[in-house]
Amino acid sequence: HEAYGEGSAPGLLDAPGGWWSMSGEDCLRRFVEAVVSRWRTYAVVLYGSRARGDWMPWSDWDVVVVAEFGEPFLERLRALLELACPAVEPIGYTPEEFERGLLALNPTVISALVEGKALYGGDYLDAVRRRIKWARKGECVWEVELAE
């Protein structure tokens, strides 16, 4: 957006020492701010080991962004990566794609819904979560039953 220049994240490169001097939490906070300022955002969800609490010092920050993207999937992924520090691993879905991902049992969507922590848009996330009757992680895949 205009406030940050074409495709640049707000302040990531302007931080003292650059992004490499920031904590993961600061990178994540600035990423969320940049996403919300660029797209109509429904939810930003931390998932994976950082959300579950079983992360290691070298673990990345897995993030699902649900927003009204105008870009095709790979272009939006590039745009999200341009806003993120290297430790932040984003993936972006439109609301329709995210909700279809639930029905298709997309493992990223299921993990974000079952284990994820809302960084933005908790009400949207809770509304989609109500469509899950129960879920558990099997050996290789999620086992999920959807509510009627």
Query: 21-25, 71-75, 105-109, 116-120: which range is least confident on average?
Result: 21-25
3-state secondary structure of 51: helix
Question: What pLDDT is recorded for position 103?
Answer: 85
pLDDT above 90 as % of the chain: 45
Instruction: State residue 22's pLDDT score.
Output: 53
Q: With a cut of 60, say whether residue 87 has pLDDT above it.
A: yes
H helical segments located in 8-130: 24-38, 49-52, 73-83, 95-103, 107-115, 122-129
Query: What φ, ψ does residue 14 adopt, rounded to 5°?
Result: -85, -10
**Section 49-59 average pLDDT:** 86
- pLDDT for 53: 87
Closest CA to 105 of 142, 62, 67: 142
